[in-house]
Amino acid sequence: MFAAQQFATQTRPATQDRHLERLKKRHEALKAQIAELESRVHLTSEEALSCRMLKKKKLATKDALIIAERSLVVGGH
């Protein structure tokens, strides 16, 4: 039982690190998509809607990233 607990403790940070990295990559990808759309002179109504949806997804991803980072800090103490 002790070995299983030790293994879980050792693997948890790596899993959390991967989760944070995925969130950061998703946030950056959304940021790039938004920047590409906003660089256009004119957006169709569909593109404008898409841009608003991407911004909401980016914000939700940022919120998830902050929560994940806080859980590491709290869990680390």
Residue 1: predicted pLDDT: 42
Query: What CA–CA distance (Å, rounded) separates 32 from 20?
Result: 18
> Residue 3 falls within a domain, yes or no?
no
Query: What CA–CA distance (Å, rounded) separates 76 from 52?
Result: 36
> Residue 6 falls within a domain, yes or no?
no
pLDDT digits (tens, 9 = 90+) for 49-76: 999 999 999 999 999 999 998 887 776 5
Query: What CA–CA distance (Å, rounded) separates 47 from 63?
Result: 24
Q: Where in the sequence is the domain holding 42, given as residue range(s)?
A: 18-76
Global confidence as pTM? 0.76
Identity of the amino acid at 45:
S
pLDDT digits (tens, 9 = 90+) for 5-41: 455 445 557 788 899 999 999 999 999 999 999 999 9
> Residue 13 falls within a domain, yes or no?
no
